[in-house]
Amino acid sequence: MKDHETKARLKLVTNPILKKRKTYSSDEKRDAFSDFYKLANKLHHHNQLGVAKKKKTDLHWKDEMCAIINPKDFNKFSDAVAFVCGSSLEEVEKITHKKLIVYASGYWNNIGN
């Protein structure tokens, strides 16, 4: 190399936002869906305030579901809902930096009756 020539050195920097998503096993997806279903059922019961305890209904896993989750669990729950119900998980509203309202259309709406 001559004195006036310089060799450019580039360093590859990966954006943490664009990093590869974690893949979950079938068992992990089933467990995550169970956790999501519990959160959705909890919100469903909360929305039934004023209804007698004996008359309160539980969600069916194939129904439409809304839940309040931690945003860091969105990908895990999204994969789980897609695996079990075949529907996608959608962000409805961000309440705080640790609470996110999400919606899943459920099996019935995605597959049909």
Domain boundaries, the chain: 26-47+58-111
**Dihedrals φ, ψ of 9, to 5°?**
-120, 125
DSSP code per residue over 33-100:
HHHHHHHHHHHHHHTTTTS-GGG--PPPTTS-EEEEE-GGGHHHHHHHHHHHTS--EEEEEEEETTEE
Task: Tokens for 54, please give them.
Answer: 């004996």
- pLDDT tens readout for residues 65-109: 999 999 999 999 999 999 999 889 999 999 999 999 999 998 888
- What is residue 7's predicted lDDT score, i.e. its pLDDT? 65
pTM of the model: 0.76
- What is residue 113's predicted lDDT score, i.e. its pLDDT? 57
